[in-house]
Structures are given as structure tokens and as C-alpha cells.
Amino acid sequence: MPELTYREAVRDALSQAMRQDDGVFLMGEDIAEMGGSMGVTQGMLEEFGKERVRNTPISEMALAGAAIGASMQGMRPVAEIMYEDFLTLAAEQVVNQAAKIRYMSGGQLTVPVVFRTQGGAGWSPGAQHAQQLEAWFVHIPGLKVVFASTPEDVRGLLWSAIYDDNPVVFFEHRTLYPIKGNVPQEIEPIPIGRARVHREGEDVTVIATGRLVHESLKAAEEAERDGISVEVVDPRTLQPLDEESLVSSVKKTNRAVVAHEAVTRMGFGAEVAAVLQYQAFDWLDAPIERVGAKFSPLPFAPVMEAFVVPHAEDVLTAIKRTVGKA
Amino acid sequence: MPELTYREAVRDALSQAMRQDDGVFLMGEDIAEMGGSMGVTQGMLEEFGKERVRNTPISEMALAGAAIGASMQGMRPVAEIMYEDFLTLAAEQVVNQAAKIRYMSGGQLTVPVVFRTQGGAGWSPGAQHAQQLEAWFVHIPGLKVVFASTPEDVRGLLWSAIYDDNPVVFFEHRTLYPIKGNVPQEIEPIPIGRARVHREGEDVTVIATGRLVHESLKAAEEAERDGISVEVVDPRTLQPLDEESLVSSVKKTNRAVVAHEAVTRMGFGAEVAAVLQYQAFDWLDAPIERVGAKFSPLPFAPVMEAFVVPHAEDVLTAIKRTVGKA
Amino acid sequence: MATAEHKATLAKSELGDVLREMLLIRRFEEKVEERFRAGELPGFLHVAIGQEASAVGVCRALEDGDVIASTHRAHGHTLAKGTHPNELMAELYGKQEGCSHGYGGSMHLYDVERGNMGANAVIGGGLPHVTGAALAFQMRGEPRVALAFFGDGATNIGTFHEALNLAQLWQVPAVFVLEDNKWAESTPESQHSPIRDLSDRAKAFGMKTLKADGQDVEAVYKTARQALDHARSGKGPVFVHLDCVRFHGHYIGDPQVYRDKDEARKLAETRDPIKLLREKLKLSISDEEFEELDTEVTEMVEASVEFAKSGTDPAPEDALKNVYA
Amino acid sequence: MATAEHKATLAKSELGDVLREMLLIRRFEEKVEERFRAGELPGFLHVAIGQEASAVGVCRALEDGDVIASTHRAHGHTLAKGTHPNELMAELYGKQEGCSHGYGGSMHLYDVERGNMGANAVIGGGLPHVTGAALAFQMRGEPRVALAFFGDGATNIGTFHEALNLAQLWQVPAVFVLEDNKWAESTPESQHSPIRDLSDRAKAFGMKTLKADGQDVEAVYKTARQALDHARSGKGPVFVHLDCVRFHGHYIGDPQVYRDKDEARKLAETRDPIKLLREKLKLSISDEEFEELDTEVTEMVEASVEFAKSGTDPAPEDALKNVYA
Ligand SMILES: Cc1ncc(C[n+]2csc(CCOP(=O)(O)OP(=O)(O)O)c2C)c(N)n1
Ligand SMILES: Cc1ncc(C[n+]2csc(CCOP(=O)(O)OP(=O)(O)O)c2C)c(N)n1
Ligand SMILES: [Mg+2]
Ligand SMILES: [Mg+2]
């Protein structure tokens, strides 16, 4: 089992898909010579050339829309939106076009495009470079939404996203690029729509995405010391959502915490809580806890930024509260 | 108490605010000679002139952004986005700019702009002209979000929105424009952040927004015949949310249904359910029911469209399910 | 590459067909207006009455394999691109037999087999798709062109700027056809654009520009042909500016309070593309022949209504199909 | 209206001040780079080293009451618009004394009292604000101008097109200053724009265009002055194209793998705006005087670091303030 960073894992999925299939190509701002603002596509220009590792102007609408158009003609473009915040510029194309073209055409067309993007706080860029907006896209029928938290997952899921015949919005988290993890020798596609249990436990289920998976695992270890046994589950794909896995875990533990970096209000955790309270109502021994960013834009000053977004302690506090040990 | 249509009520709030205050003006596509695609601003060009009832080109980004800029310089612009679907085009300006400018400037600036928009199904325009996207904006700290369902509410809330020093995204529902209702002789500002109890009841609380308020009231009457006493509450402002009123109603009835026209998944009802299960956990006798659009884009054919979006029957079914009479 | 049968100008022998096509579109849309007013058609509809020469002239110039993206005003483009009136009318009636199987409606007409990548209810929404489709053709070395229709109002939206800029930057085989009817809904061009010649829009990208009278189908064809040849031969995209006239309201039912009542009437007298072509053909097509043509297309249109009405309504729960592939 | 003390060109007597200002910006940004590399500064920072003439020349031409909107590369604009180095440095250190009170950071610098409507981390994000601010001035009959800075890369985004189009349509008193440094991050102009003269962008709106050497502060001032006078006198907005040079990386820490190592060095030799002005002033400012100037501004910069470091950290929970008015 080779070890890759999350960054290398993304690159590996892209590269292998491009080697296997001429229809796969990349578009994005500064992805060629510079290798992307996160260095994900470094070295790929040399291997695949500028036609397939295609620098675009600063034109998020056209870049998303051209990827859609190319996908309608049988290509499998992977469009990189440099920061999630700029998905707001491409929103019309992603939401009104990509998500709906198959439907509006009565099934005549497919739109096999991937919109890769990244975000996340922890480096004080201020309010316009670190939002987490995955919840928006979960609200839009026709899109699939992926948010991977480990090298293995990001590689296997990106592969599946590229070969999925539907538009996929693929979220990466900035702080995860350097983390390392083992991956299978050969790429194993990870089916979209399947959650991953990172840690089994008996007393409470923590459902976490992105960076918060890692924070939740830390919190789980801490909790263990206090005799609380925590199960940590990462849905990995937010749309479709593996409700069954989440519900069955909660039916076992009878308690749930949902954790993500996005703002709590109207965040993905709201949907998970709504699903769980409905499907596991009789099993729940405590209200479902939500952990997410506090209700403000992201501030610049590091002390304030750290206060706004959640960390392991916040997950731990929620765990303790839900088991009555707050 | 004069009677006004919802359309007239919007117009009245705009007109009175413009008479009182030179800083208030309107911008939007086809709002001048044509009076807006929904006829809301009909006659206003004649009274206020083309400087203050300002037709714009088809430029949703610039129209939203120029309204923001004018508001930063002390005006109180009301920008009309013809259809909610086109808020996707203005999303960058609304979300990254309007919502955050006050914050990023450390409180130096205010952005007293209103983005009026409308949407809603029931007339088969297809997938790109009837979405309900209010949930997106509830996720964004810095914005206020209003969704009014009656002539009285829409007038009083629009007035408050115009005079609020924060950016407000103001949702109207297309099918409500012709409905009539009494309004106070003089405009009474309705505070942003206060829910309205439309109907008191004992057995179940229905929390509904927009068109679904009216569908829920119909369902409540039907339910009454079956001996179920239904309380219907309209939060009216989704951000800030009057959690207290919702929670106290549910603590009384012990059952809740949340209803809106937007897609159920990741819709506003998810947030309400998450809040209620948390704050009224020990009071809930049944899982919170969610009523919303089924998981598809809006189809064209009327039979399919009617199937996708919820109606009184769907609310009634949910009410019955929650009281165990399904 | 331009195939032999595609000449630079329309052959005299084709003009009868061209007239028939334009007349079919005209009668079709008149019927649509009538049926909408009769309360038979759901949804939100826009006719392009007066703009038939643009649809027919441009689509005739296309070759097999070329694709188009259309707008909210899409009936003419769709018929001109080869969709049978039955399938189009069935769509407007929301039937499974419709060209979008009842999922799309008037603003979302698709016919992929015939190269119609879709109408679009969002202004500018289809423009980057054309850039992207053309990019796919370029990358695969296919001699195909992607072509977008859009209106004068659409030249104000950022999507337009970005999509054309990208197309020119990458020199993809795309053609952008501006149907300049001087109105964006109720807004006259002087109120929505600071320039009086919208060809100047293309200067921001250095894109080749061609201009034609959009009411003269021969001129349209010739110009479209030139543009397509240019794009197809790898010389880059072309911006085609057609001077057009909208005879009717923005949408069906539009009372046009904002428009001088005489304007449209006068324009219909002097710039009706069907009248203009008919006059040119005076010698070769007699009044009787024209009446015959008219009867023929009118019957086709009537038949399309029959076809549509006897079509199959989707089941309500079909709404949940086609969300994902 | 132009006030008496604002002349069409910079007075000889002002040039010493101009030099000091440019030098202050240069030393300030060099210090910022140093402190960032030392790990003292959080966040994401972009310096405009080499582009001081644009910031100083343009901002000098502004009058009281005029406002600017800036970009991600905002330090120079902010200092030139009058924010004290202490307040700017304190902001970069995330202190309450900072010009955005620690809420903004390098890409979100505000100083409303001094007419700075804000830097923007979204390309093109501030352009429509300038159109809107100018509209407010126009509607209230105030003789003020709103001015936006942006880069060559920004001319590709739809917001640019829409904002300038609207400004020209409404003839608002706005000036749009393109700082054309030929790079958008790692992407050279030839790879992001299909035209070689970005002044052509303005043709799509029919906007008046002025051009100047952005490295020559006198030329910049003169051109900005002309543009501002034009806008202020009600003749409509102006597009100002400044030919600039970016000496350093896109962001602090950028290894510039995409750029010829010699390019920047050569440009720094021949087109350094500070060197150029100093040469012009050879007769009036001696080497010693220059050294004194340099010492003076360097001390100011050092002092700003001291000021910033001894500033007040916000309390964590201050993060929840200022979300709403
Ligand atoms: C982004 C967007 N904004 C607004 C609308 C509403 N709208 C539909 S058609 C139209 C006018 C379009 O004018 P033009 O592009 O000239 O086309 P025409 O209707 O003249 O064919 C408008 C404003 C829309 N569909 N999409
Ligand atoms: C909408 C958007 N897309 C991408 C970025 C990332 N980005 C920041 S600066 C930059 C390049 C800007 O180039 P230019 O406008 O020429 O300004 P310069 O950096 O040269 O001053 C890019 C792509 C962004 N901030 N906003
Ligand atoms: Mg038009
Ligand atoms: Mg640049």
C-alpha cells in the first residue's frame, strides 16, 4: 500500500484518468505552469500538454459553462474552481444548467462534468477565500456532491466522479492537502453514495465531513479516555446521501453529533439532523448536536478565525453534552 | 382597513418609502415602462421618474453590485432580480460582497440594500424559472432573509427591509401576487425576526413559508374536520429566525410539520427541524415531518409539475402522519 | 470542411423550400399564440414572428454534425434545425412525444439527434456551452461548428463577454449569431446598451465580425455560410450581427404598453422576411402557388396540433425520472 | 469641480513628496515581505512592488470626497489614499488598531473616512460598487468621482463587462483604472486575453479611453487627472489603461516557476518607477537627500511594525461583532 498525500492522491486520480481516456481533460485558472494555486496539478502540464491541462482566463462562468458544453459533446472535463467562494460566480451554470440539462432534455443528454474546488479556513485569508458552501449544492437535484477527507477517499471518489455521467461538485479541503495516508496500489473506485465508518463505537455517533473528520477522530480519542465510546462516520458523498449507514449507526449508539466546518445555520448538518430525527426518532436518547462555524463571515485576525470555525474541542464538548457529561 | 392585493401591497411599500425618502430608489430589468415582469412597479415610473425607477440591462451581477455600491454611499436601493433563478448570477455580489462588507470593514460601512425577487411553480415555466432558493441565503451570515406570505406582511416587512441597515434578500411568491388581504391604513413596520401565528391549535404545529402558508391553512381546516387541531405559524423572516416562537408552539402541541415549496432536501425545513429537535426534544411526541418539493428539477408538463411541488394534501398527509392517523 | 452541396449562396432552386420553411414557422407560431390564448398551452412562451429569416437562413447554412444552442425564443430555431412540427407542438402541450418528452417546454427545447443542444431560459446561459462544444470538436479534430443564437439584450450579460472571449482566445470553431431585434423584453436598445452598433461588442475580443440584414434570408444564409466556413477552417470564431425585427410582444400575451403601436405595424409592412422573399420570387412563384404552399404548411401545423393533443401525458411520477443518468 | 490646487500636471514642487510616497510604499511592502517570511504575518498577501507610480499618481489626482475600490493587491492604493502606515501594518498583524480593525486583512483593506471603499479578494468584485457609488453621486448631484483599480486578468471576468457597460450607459462619474502588469497570477496576458491591446476592451461600451506609461508617475497623474475631470464634469466614465510592471511574485512566497527569471530583473533595471523619478529629479534631489528620504520612510515603516506589534489583539468573541449593523 503506497502512501500518498491528499494532494498527490487527487493528482493521481486525475493523471490516471487522463492516461486511460482521451476525453478527460482539465480546465482552470493557473493549473498549467503553476500547477494550480494548491499545487494539485503540478507536473501535469509536462505530461499531458497545454491542450489537456488548460489554463483559463479569470472567467468562472465561461469556464464552468464551457466544461458543461464539452461534456455535452462527450468529453469528461474536470473544471477547477480555484476557491469555493468563486463557485458563487459559476452558480448559474452549475445550478441552472449542469444540474438540469439532462432533465430538461427528457434524458437526451448527459453532462459528465466534474467541478473540483477547495476551501476552508485555518490560514486567515479573510472572508472571501475560505467559505464552505457544500450545502448549497446538496439542495439542487441533478447534482452529485462529494466531500472527501482522506487520500484514499479523495482518489477513489474523484475517479468515480470523473466517470460518473452526472455533474459532480467535488469539494476538497485546503488544510488536508498535506496529510498522508495509504492508498491501494491500483485505484479502486469508491462508489458515490456510500459512507465510511472511520471508527466504531457504542455511545455516540459523530457524523463529520472534510476537515472535521480528523477533528472528530481526535475528539473521539479524547472521549475514549473519559470512557465514552465514539463512532465516527464520514458520509463522503453528501448527495446522494447514504442515509442508511448514518441511521443504522445512530440506531446503535442512540446519540448523534454532526460536525462540519461550514456555518451551522442551514449547513449540511441541518439536513443530517432532519433525516436522523425522522428515521431514528424512537432510538434517539438525546437531541442531535450540531457542530459548525459560528454565525459570522470569516474574520481575518487568527484569534477570531480560530474562534469561528470548529475544532476537536468543539466536537468533544458536543459529544459530552449528548451523553450528559457536559 | 383597506384591502390590497399582495402585488399592490409591495407597490405601496415601495411607493411610500420613495415618497418619504429620496435615498430610496428602484433598479431592475423592465421595471419602468413595463412595470416589472410581475407588474409590481406598474405606474411607479410615472410618479417617480426614470432616475428612481431605473431599468437596467440584463446584467444581474452589475445590477446587484451597483445597488450595493450605491448603498455603501448612503442610498437605500431596492434591486429587483426578476426571477429567483437569476440570483445565481448575482450570488457573488450578494454573498461575498453585500453580506460581508460591513464585517470585513470592521463595522465602518453599512450596506442597506434590498434584493427583491420572486419565484415559485404552478404555471409550468420549466426548470429555470420557478426555483425556490431561499435556503441558500439563510446559510450566509450578514444577510437577512424575508419571505412574506400575505399582503399585510409583505407591506410591513418590505418597509422594514428598506429601512434596515443590512442587506436583505426579500422573497415574494409568484402565485401570491393576486391574493387579497386587509392591511392597516398606515404602514406599520413589521419587525424583522418575528414569526406570525396564523391559526392557533393544540395537536400539531405547522411551520410554513410563502405559498405553503396558504396550503397549510387549507390543510388545517381539513384536519379540523377530522378532529385535529392545527396551529399554523409563518416565520416570515428566515434570518434572523424567531426560534422562540416556533419552539414554544411546538412545546405546546408536541408535534411539528415544516412546509415550503423549495426542495425538501437541504431546504429551510431542515434547519427548522434541526432547531426544533434540539430545543424541544423532550416535548416532541413524533418525528418532525418535512413537506417540500420532491427531489427533481421542475418539470414542464403540468401533471408532473403538480406532482413535484407540495399542496394542501401533502401538508394534510403529514399532519395526519404526525398524529398517527395516516 | 464545406461539403460540395453547401454553396456560398442559396441556389434559386432552394428558395421555394426556404419560403415554405419560413412560412411553416410563421403559421406554427401563429397557431401557438392562438392555442395559448385559448388556454390550451401551459407555461411561458415567446414567439419569433418576424425573425424567421434568421432561423432558416442560419440553420440552412449548417452542416450535418454542427450543433446549435438557442434561447427563450426558440420555436423557429428548433423547426429550422429539423425538429418535426409534431414533436415541437407535442412538447408545448407537455406530451411524451415532445422533443423534450414533456420535461422541457417552450424555453427548453432539445433535439440532440438533430444537433439542437437546447434552448435556454437564462439569458446567455447557452453561450459558454457553445464555446465548450466547439472546444470538444477542436480537441477531437472534428470538422464541426457549434453555433449560438442570442439577442441584443444578451450582449449585456457577463456570460456573453466571458464565453466569446474564451472562444476567441482558444480559436474554437464557434459562431455567435446576434439576432438584434432592438428590444430586450420592454427595454429598447438605447436603454440597455451604451453603443449604437452592437457589432462593436466583438471588438473587446478581436473577433471577426460579419453583418447582415436579418430580414433577408439570402443575406443571412450567405453571411452564416461565410462565418461557418471561417470557423470550420480553423480560423477562429465569428460574431454575426443580424439586424432583425420583432413583430409581436416579448411573450405571448404581452400588451406591449411600452411600445409605439405603429412601430411594429410599419415594420411588418416593410420588413417582413416572408413578404420580402415572396416579392423576390414573384416571377417563379405565383400567387396560387404561394396559397398552395400556405395551405400545405397550415395543414402541417393543424396536424401537429392534432398530433400533440392525442399525445400521451406523462404520468405524474415520471417527474422523478431523468434527474440522474 | 476641479479645485484650484488640482492642476493638470504635477507641480515640480510636489515631486519630492511624490517620490517620498512611492518610496514609503516600496519600503513598506518590502518590510511586509520580510515579516511574512519571518512567519509574523498571517493570511494571504500580494505586494505591488514596481507598481507604486500607479497608486500614487492616481490617488494624488483624486479630490476630497472621491472614493476608490481596490483589489487583492491593495497596500499601495491604501497608503496612497491616505491611510497611515501604522494602521495598515496593524491590520496586517490582525490588530484592532488596523484600518479594518482586524476583520479584513491584506485583501480587505478599508478606510472609509479617507475614501477607500475597500479592497476586494474577488476579481472584479469591486467594479460594480464603483458604478453604484458613482450613480449615488450622480443622483445626488455631488461633484464626486468613484474610481476602481483592477488588473489585466480582471478584464476577462463578466463582472468587468457588466459594470463598465452599466457605467457608460448611465454616464456616471466613474473612472476605471487598469493596472496592466501583463500577468494574471501565473498566466501571461497572451494566455488569458485574445487581444494584445487591452484598451480595446472599452470599445464594447464605447467608453472614452486614455493610456499612459504606468511606471511614469507624472504621466499617470496627468492621465488620471484628465479622466477625473472628464468624469466629474458629467461627460461620462473613463477607462484608463496603465502599462505596468509586476517586479515580484503574484503572492508573497510565489516561486514564479512560470516566469523567466531574467524578465523581472531586467524590467526592474529599466522600468522601476522610483528610479525613473529619481533620475528625473537628479538636479533637485541629491543622493544624500534621497538617502535621507529613504531613512525617513524606512523609519516610518519600522515604526509601523512597532505600532502594529504593540497593538491590541481582538478578543476571540469579537468575531461575532459587526456581522449586522
Ligand atoms: C439572466 C436572465 N435575466 C433576465 C431574464 C428575463 N428575460 C427573458 S427574455 C429577456 C429579454 C431578452 O432580450 P434579447 O436578448 O434581446 O432577446 P429577445 O427577447 O429580443 O429575443 C429577459 C430580460 C432571463 N431570462 N435571464
Ligand atoms: C473571481 C476570482 N477568480 C480567481 C481569483 C484568484 N486570483 C487572485 S488574483 C488573480 C490574478 C489577477 O490578475 P490581475 O487582475 O491581472 O491582477 P494582478 O494580480 O496582476 O494585480 C487570480 C486569478 C480571484 N481572486 N477571484
Ligand atoms: Mg432583443
Ligand atoms: Mg495583472
- Residue A160 covered by a domain: yes
Which range marks the domain in which residue D203 is found?
Answer: 12-306
Angle at which helices C15-37 and C287-309 cross, to 10°: 50
Nearest to C162 among D156, D194, D200 (CB): D156
Return the closest-CA partner of residue B158 out of B33, B51, B7, B269. Answer: B7
Query: How close is the nearest chain B Cα to the Cα of C290, in Å?
Result: 36
- Ligand 2 site, residue D73, Cβ cutoff 6 A: yes
pTM greater than 0.90: yes
Q: Is the pLDDT of residue D273 over 70?
A: yes
B22, B119: one domain: yes
B271·A268 Cβ contact <8 A: no
Interchain pair B91, A91: CB under 8 A = yes
Examine the domain organization and report whether A45 and A167 are in the same domain: yes
Asked if residues B213 and B149 have their Cβ atoms less than 8 Å apart, the reply is yes
- ipTM for the whole complex: 0.98
Q: Do B308 and C184 touch (CB under 8 A)?
A: no
The per-residue pLDDT of chain D, averaged, comes to 96
Rounded to a whole number of angstroms, the distance from the CA of D49 to the nearest CA of chain B is 25
A173 tagged catalytic: no
The answer to whether residue A64 neighbours chain C at the CB level (below 8 Å) is: yes
In this structure, are A167 and A226 located in the same domain?
no
Cβ A271–B270 below 8 Å, yes or no?
yes
Q: Do residue B160 and residue B300 come from a single domain?
A: no
**Residues of chain D found within 8 Å of residue B72, distances taken between Cβ atoms:** 117, 129, 132-133
Ligand 1 pocket residue status of C47, Cβ below 6 Å: no
DSSP string, A14-68: HHHHHHH-TTEEEEETT-STT--TTSTTTTHHHHH-TTTEEE--S-HHHHHHHHH
Measured in whole angstroms, how far is the alpha carbon of residue C226 from the centre of its chain?
A: 18
Q: Residue B82's domain is classified under what CATH number? A: 3.40.50.970
**Domain count across chain A:** 2
Q: How far is A1 from chain B (nearest CA, A)?
A: 38
Question: Which segments of chain C have a pLDDT < 50?
Answer: 1-4
pLDDT single digits (tens) D135-154: 999 999 999 999 999 999 99
| Residue A191, domain member (yes or no) | no
Distance from CA of B54 to the nearest CA of D (A): 10
Residues of chain B with pLDDT under 70: 326
Other chains touching A, judged by 3 or more CB pairs under 8 Å: B, C, D
CB pairs under 8 A between B and D: 141
Instruction: Answer whether B25 touches D (CB < 8 Å).
Output: yes
Residue D26 in 3-state DSSP?
A: helix
Interval D26-39 mean pLDDT: 98
Supply the DSSP string of C234-268, one letter for each residue.
TS--EEEEEE----S-SSTT---TTS-HHHHHHHH
Q: Which residues of B11-38 are buried (b: 16+ CB within 10 A; e: fewer)?
A: bbbbbbbbeeeebbbbbbbbbbbbbbbb
Domain final residue pick, A182, A211, A246:
A182
- Asked if B119 and B130 count as a contact pair (C-beta separation under 8 A), the reply is yes
pLDDT at C5: 55
Residue of A nearest to C113 (CA): A108
Question: Which of C100, C192, C319 lies closest to B296 in CB terms?
Answer: C319
Considering A8, A80, A84, A129, which one is annotated as catalytic?
A: A129
The DSSP bridge partners found for residue A291 are A259
Closest residue by Cα to residue C133 from C84, C88, C166: C166
**Ligand 1 pocket member C77 (CB < 6 A):** no
B142 & B256 share domain: no
Ligand 1 lined by C183 (C-beta under 6 Å): yes
pLDDT recorded at residue D103: 98
Do B168 and B210 fall into the same domain? no
Contact check, Cβ <8 Å, C125/A109 = no
Phi and psi dihedrals of D183, rounded to 5?
Answer: -135, 140
Judgement on whether residues B160 and B48 belong to the same structural domain of the protein? yes
Of the candidates A116, A150, A182, which is a domain's last residue? A182
**Predicted confidence (pLDDT) at residue D284 exceeds the cutoff of 60:** yes
Please check whether residue D324 lies inside any domain of the structure.
no
> What CATH number is given to the structural domain containing D275?
3.40.50.970
Q: Does any domain span residue B188?
A: no
Region D67-87: mean pLDDT is 98
Q: Is D77 in the pocket of ligand 2 (CB under 6 A)?
A: no
* The three three-digit cell numbers of residue B297, written as one number: 428539477
Residue D73 within any structural domain of the chain = yes
Confidence check: pLDDT of D298 > 90: yes
Q: What is the DSSP string of A116-155?
A: EEEE--SS---TTS----HHHHHTSTT-EEEE--SHHHHH
Chains that touch C (3 or more CB pairs under 8 A): A, B, D
Q: Does A21 touch chain C (CB under 8 A)?
A: no
Count interface pairs A-C at CB distance under 8 A. 142
> Which residues in chain A touch residue C136, judged by CB atoms under 8 angstroms apart?
69-70, 73-75
Confidence of residue D1 (pLDDT cuts 50, 70, 90): very low
Contact at 8 Å (CB) between D134 and D54?
no
- Protein residues near ligand 4, an ion, with CB under 5 A: D 151-152, 181, 183
A128 and D154 within 8 Å at the Cβ level: the answer is: no
In a shared domain, residues B147 and B203: no
Nearest to C204 among D157, D191, D203 (CB): D203
CA distance B170 to B115: 6
Pair (A32, A90) in one structural domain: yes
Instruction: Kindly report the average pLDDT of chain B as a whole number.
Output: 98
Q: Phi then psi for B2, rounded to 5 degrees?
A: -70, 155
Residue A275, in any domain of the structure: yes
| CATH at residue A233 | 3.40.50.920
Whole-number pLDDT of residue A93:
98
Q: In whole angstroms, what is the distance from residue B35 CA to residue C258 CA?
A: 9
Q: Which residues contact B141 (CB under 8 A, 6 or more apart)?
A: A263, A265, A295, A296, A297, B99, B103, D323
Q: Is A96's CB within 8 Å of B127's CB? A: yes
Chain B closest-CA separation from residue D128 CA (Å): 5
**pLDDT tens-digit profile of D55-66?**
999 999 999 999
C-alpha D173 to ligand 1 mean position (Å): 28
Residue B154 lies in a domain: yes
Do residue A24 and residue A100 come from a single domain? Answer: yes
Query: Is D3 within a domain?
Result: no
On whether residue C312 sits in a domain, the answer given is no
Contact C241, C178 (CB under 8 A): yes
Spans in chain A with pLDDT lower than 70: 326
Range of the domain at A92: 3-182
Does residue B254 share a domain with residue B173? no
A281-to-A274, A278, B270, B288, D168 alpha-carbon distances in Å = 10, 5, 15, 9, 60
Of B67, B106, B166, the CB nearest to D324: B166
Give the DSSP H/E element, type plus range, for residue B172. strand B168-173
Cβ–Cβ below 8 Å for B105 and D100: yes
Q: Is the minimum distance from the CB of D70 to ligand 2 under 6 angstroms? A: no
Rounded distance between C-alpha atoms, residue B7 and residue B19, angstroms: 18
Of A139, A156, A182, the position where a domain reaches its end is A182
pLDDT in the model for residue D3: 44
Count of all residues that appear for chain B in the document: 326
Residue D49 covered by a domain: yes
Looking at all shown ligands, the one closest to residue B38's CA atom is 1
CA atoms in the 13 A half-sphere facing the CB of B76: 19
Q: Confirm whether D2 is domain-assigned.
A: no
Distance D182 CA to ligand 4 centre (A): 5
Q: Give the nearest ligand 2 atom to D154 CA.
A: 15
Give CA–CA dist D26/D275, Å, rounded: 12
Overall number of domains in chain D: 1
Residue in A66, A109, A141 nearest the CB of C112: A109
Residue with cell 453534552: A321
> Does one domain contain both B246 and B142?
no
Catalytic residues of B, which ones?
Answer: 60, 129
